[in-house]
A and B are shown apart, each in its own frame.
Chain A
Amino acid sequence: MKRHEILALREVDVAHGHSPVLHQVSLSVRQGEIVTLIGANGAGKSTLLMAIFGLPRVTRGEILFDGREITRVPTHRIARMGMAQVPEGRRIFPGMTVMENLVMGGAGAPVDEAVLERVCGLFPILRERSGQRAGTLSGGEQQMLAIGRALMGKPRVLLLDEPSLGLAPLMIRRIFQALRAIVAEGTTLFLVEQNANQALRLADRGYVLVNGRIVLEGGGESLLANPEVRRAYLGGH
């Protein structure tokens, strides 16, 4: 049975001002899947994630969430439709406490204790540090907070931009373990990564972005075995 397509980009063009960044990008994510987008620095991965939320707006093509076109929907409305994003650089609110950051993830709704419980179960450090200013957390803890915050809105689809960036190997392993647990609970994952090895091992399917175009797509394992991908993104071994 083909699973329900929850997020789709159809022939999307995106530009920063007058310089084009993405060309004719089409991709789809089905419910319950882990899909990854890999590519070199500057290929347009982060731009693609932000464009799904309308920042910036696509110049051509359309974006569908759960069958509904969201190409022109205001960013804050998209966020309330059941899609969350952990953007590049995590962007936690440094001047707020850890708990306040988590509450912000609930989009103004009263805190759902069950969800908070689950997030703190996933990242126990967040409960320990709940009264501390988020800016004082370590990089790995901030990443956990950013993911936890995104989960507070009970998203059906979670978009993640390089969750492993700048983290120690042990921390990367813990983050990826948490991502597996999140998927096991039924959340769909769209993961942008430079760390292609980790990402492709986790993912059901992957896309390869080069200079703003999708050049390859396939199952996670098959991309991992693809000699071109190995040479370009996995250091050739």
Chain B
Amino acid sequence: MSFHIFVQQVVNGLVLGSVYGLIAVGYTMVYGIIGMINFAHGDVYMIAAYLTAIFLAALTLLGVQSPPVIILLVLLLTIAVTALYGWSVERIAYRPLRHSTRLAPLISAIGMSLILQNYVRLSQGGRTQGTPTFLDGSVRLFEQGPDQFVQITHAQILIVVMAVLGMGVLWYLMQATAMGRACRAVQQDRIMASLLGVDGDRVISLVFVLGASMAAVAGTLVTFNYGSFDFFIGFVTGIKAFTAAVLGGIGSLPGAMLGGLVLGLSESIFSGLVNTDYKDVFAFSLLVLVLIFRPSGLLGRPEVEKV
């Protein structure tokens, strides 16, 4: 593999990893706070892709032409509506089951995932949809000839920048605000937090809203970059992001980011070095290996029995 292809795959891997990381954060935060895997999270990401297309079309109809304005407005609108979806999913499918067996919300999550997919299929059609190419400029690095260069699209740059920014904002919210402190308290001991006046239900809602917002950022940026999607994209991407969360250590916020990057990079470099068909096999083998040697993930803390 030539130097150029390698660097190109690293760039692609970073972009893919940023997307996985943004979605993985939602899995890991929800797991951290209520100990369940939100299987509908990937579909919330899919919803964000559709919303992006809808808002893009609406803004175009309204005659908005400046790309930065469009990017900003579409992002904000998509985040707002996707967050509402995340909030609703928790209220409808998980909160009523809060005090039932552990398996019940898991089954409910799978049900919610199917409902979201089919709701989109019915309302938007089953075919692959596309948005007009948007942000299609690119920069070339290390150019040494007609086929000898590394290409980075503007959309790819935007993905990495927004992922870093989004993670930064989330990290700040969790570490430096009263709201984030309450989240961490509920995560560590929900009963004690309630004895100190923290409304656990509100914190759980907040976590779903934050997770959905991050998935919305991913959905919008991926749509800007690839321009095509269907009602089923949430499944594979969701499973990958979930893998990233487990790889990094489920429950750990930096773990989700790291897991996303490791998964994205290894998938992409494997595609370049070996072949594309087996990249998923490689990604999941990596997960198996990490779980054998570090069962709690790269940054996860080992489970400690409470006394």
Binding site for B on A (CB under 8 A): 53, 55, 74-77, 79-80, 84-85, 87, 89, 91, 93-96, 100, 103-105, 107-108, 149, 153
Q: A79-B194, A91-B192 are in contact. Are A74 and B181 (CB under 8 A)?
A: no
Instruction: Give the CA-CA distance A74 to B193 in the complex, in Å.
Output: 13
CB distance from B192 to the nearest CB of A (A): 4
Are B178 and A93 touching (Cβ within 8 A)?
no
Are B196 and A79 touching (Cβ within 8 A)?
yes
Q: A89-B307, A93-B192 are in contact. Are A103 and B198 (CB under 8 A)?
A: no
- Contacting chain A: which of B141-149, B182-190, B265-273? B182-190
Are A108 and B198 touching (Cβ within 8 A)?
yes
Does B200 belong to the interface (CB within 8 Å)? yes
Q: A93-B184, A93-B185 are in contact. Are A104 and B191 (CB under 8 A)?
A: no
Residues of B within 8 A of A80 (CB): 197
B side interface size, CB within 8 A: 18
Could you list some 28 contacts between A and B, CB below 8 A? A53-B194, A53-B195, A55-B191, A74-B199, A76-B198, A76-B199, A77-B197, A84-B195, A84-B196, A85-B195, A91-B189, A91-B192, A91-B195, A93-B184, A93-B185, A93-B189, A93-B192, A95-B188, A96-B188, A100-B181, A103-B181, A104-B185, A104-B193, A107-B197, A107-B198, A108-B178, A108-B198, A153-B197
Q: B200: which of A76, A94, A104, A107 is its contact (CB, 8 Å)?
A: A76
CB distance from A55 to the nearest CB of B (A): 6
Tell me the nearest residue of chain B to A75, going by C-beta.
B194
Residues of A within 8 A of B191 (CB): 55, 87, 91
Are A104 and B195 touching (Cβ within 8 A)?
no
Instruction: Give the CA-CA distance A48 to B293 in the complex, in Å.
Output: 45
Instruction: Give the CA-CA distance A80 to B196 in the complex, in Å.
Output: 8
Tell me the nearest residue of chain B to A81, going by C-beta.
B197
- Main secondary structure, interface of B, reads helix
Are B196 and A104 touching (Cβ within 8 A)?
yes
CB distance from A37 to the nearest CB of B (A): 18
Tell me the nearest residue of chain B to A89, going by C-beta.
B307
Instruction: Give the CA-CA distance A93 to B190 in the complex, in Å.
Output: 10
Residues of B within 8 A of A105 (CB): 196
Instruction: Give the CA-CA distance A153 to B193 in the complex, in Å.
Output: 13
Q: Mark B171-214, 1 if CB is under 8 A from A, else 0.
A: 00000001001101100110111111111100000000000000
Instruction: Give the CA-CA distance A91 to B198 in the complex, in Å.
Output: 15
Are A75 and B195 touching (Cβ within 8 A)?
yes
CB distance from A25 to the nearest CB of B (A): 20
Are B195 and A108 touching (Cβ within 8 A)?
no
Minimum-distance CB pairs A-B, first 6: A107-B197, A79-B197, A91-B192, A75-B194, A80-B197, A76-B199
Tell me the nearest residue of chain A to B192, going by C-beta.
A91
Given contacts A77-B197, A103-B178, A149-B196, 10 further A-B pairs with CB under 8 A are: A55-B194, A74-B199, A75-B194, A76-B197, A76-B199, A79-B194, A84-B195, A87-B191, A87-B195, A96-B181
Residues of A within 8 A of B184 (CB): 93, 95-96
Residues of A within 8 A of B307 (CB): 89
Tell me the nearest residue of chain A to B306, going by C-beta.
A89
Tell me the nearest residue of chain B to A149, going by C-beta.
B196
Residues of B within 8 A of A77 (CB): 197
Residues of B within 8 A of A107 (CB): 196-198
Instruction: Give the CA-CA distance A85 to B189 in the complex, in Å.
Output: 14
Interface centre among B178, B182, B189, B196 (most CB of A within 10 A): B196
Residues of B within 8 A of A89 (CB): 307
Instruction: Give the CA-CA distance A104 to B179 in the complex, in Å.
Output: 11
CB distance from A151 to the nearest CB of B (A): 12
CB distance from B177 to the nearest CB of A (A): 11
Residues of A within 8 A of B192 (CB): 87, 91, 93
Tell me the nearest residue of chain A to B187, going by C-beta.
A95
Tell me the nearest residue of chain B to A146, going by C-beta.
B192
CB distance from B201 to the nearest CB of A (A): 9
Residues of A within 8 A of B181 (CB): 96, 100, 103-104
Interface centre among A76, A77, A79, A80 (most CB of B within 10 A): A76
Instruction: Give the CA-CA distance A14 to B251 in the complex, in Å.
Output: 34
Residues of B within 8 A of A96 (CB): 181, 184-185, 188
Q: Mark B40-61, 1 if CB is under 8 A from A, else 0.
A: 0000000000000000000000
Q: Which of B153-172 contact A (CB under 8 A)?
A: none
Residues of A within 8 A of B195 (CB): 53, 55, 75, 79, 84-85, 87, 91
